[in-house]
């Protein structure tokens, strides 16, 4: 009886390990390999114990039987691997898109694109119905994308491109099954018996085409990105990344000679990959990671307000320097004699407005690692071990925003002090910082960001509609009011006055100047407007842009003014 129970337990262990490993996505290949190799141990034992071995006459025959069992296990492992790759995760692998973090180059299944050459892909439209991307059909049945907008490059990081050699990217990739019409299973059958172009479904985006182009033009020749959100819903109203590229240069010309046109496409592709092109294929708003500088102080301030008993947010000083740990470099304020402006002791409102580094370093140390990390995670920041739980834009590939890189980093007092005022090992995306501003503006509730509002077929019947989803409450309603008051004070009296662009719309915000190894800081500014009834939240990030209170604040104010004029004239 004991032998029977042991064997059944081992059998369940084998099935459990194989099932768990099989359920892991392809990115967790190492987990799958560990599971299948570990499962071989009890499986081998069961094979020798359960399979009748009648020919135990001599050592040679016993060895042959053992070899048969080992070969059987090997073939079983190979069969399970093929089952996982070819059946369980086949569609996932076929549709996956990889982005090279260094160049922004995308890699995808070119077979999909080649098969879609004769598919009349659906259009992409903005929130008001303006067509951003459409298709044309040649007499021979081939199709190509067109971009009936004034500045196609403004939309390229979002909509992506379709090329039979270089693949597909952006929304073209993530919504390929809708755009190509393959979402309908009958479409696969009909396509086998007809030569005319199959019409795909149309994707309606949340962005405003006019605002998108205006934001891209405001960025100009600078390197960076801008994200504009609706704080109440999480809808992306604009998302610009510069430098960008003209998707028409990667679109085949169906009226040109194929060999000549392919040479043109190859030249355009190689030009985009050159080092001096500055990664135009990279969507910096979603795939760029940077230290956030003082914009992260809003997160630290929220944590201090939420844990007021230990952080004592209104009992704080702003000394010239602060020694966080014996032997560590002291925390220094960016502006001398800052206490004259913040007061001594200072209030939360004044240290946010005048961006006192030493005060926020004290907050972080008072909070301690566990409270500090937990509060930051509520805004969507994660530790490296929890990247799968990060709040991302599921419509496009997005990297997570990290609180640190090295395991155990925040266990050091100097490290948590540096992180408290926006340095340390923080690496964040512009989207994440836009979410911080949007969360404060939305009474402390973090909303799931999204780019696709709905998908409709050719009869305008909805096939997919986004459902607005709150992720969680990041900060209490009462404390969100205090943060909004501090951010408004930062613009009216503090270091963010440049964001109040021509008094067109009341702005609340926070500047950030992020140190980086080159010596020239990145300029940040996060904001929302109108201050008393927020409808837009924005994050501006300019690589090597200098002081956030200057270039960053000015651009944020211009973007918010453009949003008010374009969306709510």
| Domains of the chain listed by start with CATH number | 2-94 (no CATH), 108-217+230-269 (3.90.1310.10), 293-455+468-559 (3.40.710.10)
* pLDDT interval class at 423 (50, 70, 90): very high
**CB 361, CB 420: distance < 8 Å:** yes
Ranking 24-33, 53-62, 229-238, 242-251 by mean pLDDT, the lowest is 53-62
Query: What percent of the chain shows pLDDT beyond 70?
Result: 89
pTM: 0.80
What's the whole-number mean pLDDT along residues 176-182?
A: 87
Give the confidence band of 499 by pLDDT, cuts at 50, 70, 90. very high
Selection from 364, 391, 394 nearest residue 379 by Cα: 391
Give the confidence band of 64 by pLDDT, cuts at 50, 70, 90. confident
- Asked if residue 318 lies in contact with residue 536, where contact means CB atoms within 8 angstroms, the answer is no
Q: Distance between CA 122 and CA 182 in Å, rounded? A: 11
Q: Is the pLDDT of residue 495 over 60?
A: yes
Predicted pLDDT of residue 38:
85
Convert the pLDDT of each residue in 459-487 to its tens digit.
Answer: 889 999 999 999 999 999 999 999 999 99
Q: Is the pLDDT of residue 416 over 60?
A: yes
Whether the per-residue pLDDT at 99 is higher than 90: the answer is: no
Distance CA 172, CA 177 (A): 9
How high does pLDDT run on average in the chain?
88
65 vs 368, which has greater pLDDT?
Answer: 368
- H or E stretch at 61: helix 59-83
Residue 237 CB neighbour total at 10 angstroms: 25
Pick from 24-38, 218-232, 397-411: least confident: 24-38
Q: pLDDT at residue 194 above 70?
A: no
For 245-287, the pLDDT digits (tens) are: 999 999 998 888 888 989 999 999 999 999 888 999 999 999 9
Six-digit token string for 324: 């966080």
Q: How far apart are the first and last CA of the chain?
A: 81
User: Is 389's pLDDT higher than 50?
Assistant: yes
Cα–Cα dist 420/400, whole Å: 19
Q: Give the mean pLDDT of 414-430.
A: 95
Question: Residue 373: its pLDDT value, please?
Answer: 96
Above 60 in pLDDT, residue 60?
yes
Task: Supply the pLDDT for residue 55.
Answer: 47
Q: pLDDT tens digits, residue range 301-342?
A: 999 999 999 999 999 999 999 999 998 999 999 899 999 999
Q: Which of 241, 244, 294, 355 is catalytic?
A: 294
Active-site residue flag, 294? yes
Whether residue 473 contacts residue 445, with contact meaning beta carbons closer than 8 Å, is answered with yes
Which DSSP string corresponds to 265-316? Answer: HHHHHHHHHSGGG--TTS-HHHH--B--GGGGHHHHHHHHHHTHHHH-TTSB
| Distance, CA of 384 to CA of 332 (rounded, Å) | 28
Lowest mean pLDDT among 160-174, 301-315, 416-430: 160-174
- Joined together, the tokens standing for residue 171 give 């929304």
């Amino acid at each position: 009886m004991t032998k029977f129970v042991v064997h059944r337990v081992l059998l369940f262990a084998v099935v459990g390990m194989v099932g768990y490993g099989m359920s892991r996505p392809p990115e967790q290949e190492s987990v799958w390999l560990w599971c299948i190799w570990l499962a071989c141990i009890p499986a081998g034992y069961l094979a020798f114990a359960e399979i009748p071995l009648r020919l135990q006459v001599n050592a040679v025959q016993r060895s042959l039987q053992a070899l048969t069992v080992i070969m059987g296990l090997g073939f079983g492992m190979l069969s399970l691997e093929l089952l996982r790759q070819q059946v369980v995760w086949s569609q996932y692998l076929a549709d996956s898109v990889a982005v090279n973090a260094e160049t922004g180059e995308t890699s995808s299944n070119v077979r999909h694109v080649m098969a879609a050459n004769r598919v009349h892909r659906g259009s992409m439209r903005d929130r008001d119905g303006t067509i951003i991307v459409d298709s044309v059909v040649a007499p021979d049945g081939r199709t190509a994308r067109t971009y009936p907008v004034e500045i196609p490059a403004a939309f390229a990081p979002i909509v992506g491109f379709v090329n039979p050699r270089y693949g597909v990217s952006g929304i073209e990739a993530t919504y390929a099954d809708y755009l190509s019409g393959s979402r309908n299973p009958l479409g696969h059958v009909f396509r086998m018996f007809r030569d005319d172009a199959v019409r795909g479904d149309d994707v309606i985006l949340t962005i405003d085409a006019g605002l998108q182009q205006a934001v891209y033009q405001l960025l100009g020749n600078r390197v960076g990105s801008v994200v504009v959100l609706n704080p109440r819903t999480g809808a992306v109203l604009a998302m610009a990344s510069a430098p960008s590229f003209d998707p028409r240069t990667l679109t085949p010309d169906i009226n040109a000679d194929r060999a000549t046109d392919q040479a043109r496409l190859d030249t355009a592709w190689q030009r985009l990959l050159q080092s001096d092109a500055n990664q135009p294929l990279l969507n910096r708003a979603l795939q760029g990671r940077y230290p956030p500088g003082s914009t992260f102080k809003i997160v630290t301030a929220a944590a201090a307000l939420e844990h007021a008993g230990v952080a004592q947010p209104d009992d704080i000083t702003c000394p010239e320097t602060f020694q966080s740990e014996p032997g560590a470099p002291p925390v220094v304020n960016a502006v001398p004699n800052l206490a004259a402006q913040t007061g001594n002791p200072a209030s939360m409102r004044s240290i946010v407005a005048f961006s006192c580094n030493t005060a926020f370093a004290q907050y972080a140390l008072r909070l301690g690692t566990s409270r500090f990390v937990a509060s930051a995670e509520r805004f969507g920041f994660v530790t490296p071990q929890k990247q799968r739980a990060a709040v991302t834009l599921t419509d496009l590939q997005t990297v997570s925003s990290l609180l640190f890189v090295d395991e155990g980093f925040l266990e050091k007092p100097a490290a948590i002090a540096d992180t408290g005022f926006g340095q340390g090992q923080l690496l964040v995306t512009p989207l994440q910082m836009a979410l911080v501003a949007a969360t404060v503006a939305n009474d402390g509730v973090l909303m799931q960001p999204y780019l696709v509002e709905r998908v409709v077929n050719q009869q305008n019947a909805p096939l997919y509609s986004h459902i607005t989803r709150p992720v969680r409450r990041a900060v209490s309603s009462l404390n969100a009011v205090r943060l909004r008051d501090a951010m408004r004070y930062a613009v009216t009296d503090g270091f963010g006055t440049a964001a109040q662009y021509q008094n067109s719309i009341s702005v609340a915000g926070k500047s950030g100047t992020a140190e980086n190894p080159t010596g020239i800081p990145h300029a940040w500014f996060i904001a929302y407007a109108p201050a008393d009834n927020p409808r837009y939240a924005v994050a501006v990030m300019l690589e090597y842009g200098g002081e956030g209170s200057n270039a960053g604040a000015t651009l944020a104010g211009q973007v918010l003014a453009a949003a008010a004029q374009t969306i709510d004239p």
